[in-house]
């Protein structure tokens, strides 16, 4: 699964994702993004990319309780075309979750140990996601997202059996294209991105959602 990531945008972030517009005065920095956080997500509208704030944890329009989102932070690539909560967004509302890196936890005798994954050249990662628009009981608009996961590759497998789907630059455009057929999307989710990752152990302080500072991503 993917239970935490970082968002540390540099000066070239907007160009990196070809962002045509966004509502932020200043882009947020977050060294410990956890479920329920409101974070920037890339969507495509009218052939242009926009950055939108959304809450992590997908809430289907039919859900009575918005807290269902905490159980829907990840969607398995193998079943998103079948699951009722994900098949609609898979066809019509795909997104990219920009991340500087992500955390995975290795189960050891002394408890779960966190590891940090980031691109070896230290570039931003494009994680494949889905988003949904729902409305609360008071008719407030609620935009939420989920991160798609797949079987771990050789780099991640010693740490965890699942990892987020990472898109390469070409795949980003295909993933956001509303006209792309389902079969081609499934191929994108199944293949390795070719993005080289480095991984290292980090402090267990990242296990506490309230902790959020740059030192969290330092190796231990």
Which of the residues are catalytic? 2, 104
Q: What is the 3-state secondary structure (H, E, C) of 156-216?
A: CCCCCCEEECEECHHHHHHHHCCCCCHHHHHHHHHCCCCCCEEEEEECHHHHCCCCCCHHH
Contact 160, 116 (CB under 8 A): no
Contact 119, 159 (CB under 8 A): no
């Amino acid at each position: 699964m993917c239970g935490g990531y970082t968002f540390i945008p540099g000066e070239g972030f907007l160009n990196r994702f070809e962002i045509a517009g966004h509502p932020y005065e200043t882009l947020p920095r977050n060294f410990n993004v956890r479920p329920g956080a409101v974070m920037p997500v890339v969507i495509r509208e009218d052939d242009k990319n926009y950055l939108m704030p959304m809450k992590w944890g997908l809430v289907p329009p039919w859900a009575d309780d918005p807290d269902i989102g905490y159980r829907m932070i990840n969607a398995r690539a193998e079943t998103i075309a079948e699951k009722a909560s994900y098949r609609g967004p898979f066809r019509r509302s795909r997104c990219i979750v920009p991340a500087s890196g992500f955390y995975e936890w290795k189960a050891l005798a002394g408890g779960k140990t966190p590891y940090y994954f980031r691109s070896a050249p230290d570039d931003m990662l494009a994680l494949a996601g889905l988003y949904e628009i729902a409305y609360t009981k008071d008719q407030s608009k609620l935009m939420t997202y989920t991160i798609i996961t797949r079987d771990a590759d050789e780099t991640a497998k010693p740490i965890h059996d699942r990892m987020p789907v990472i898109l390469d630059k070409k795949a980003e455009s295909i993933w956001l294209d509303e006209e792309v057929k389902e079969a081609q999307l499934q191929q994108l989710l199944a293949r390795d991105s070719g993005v080289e990752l480095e991984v290292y152990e980090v402090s267990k302080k990242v296990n506490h959602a309230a902790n959020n500072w740059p030192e969290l991503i330092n190796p231990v």
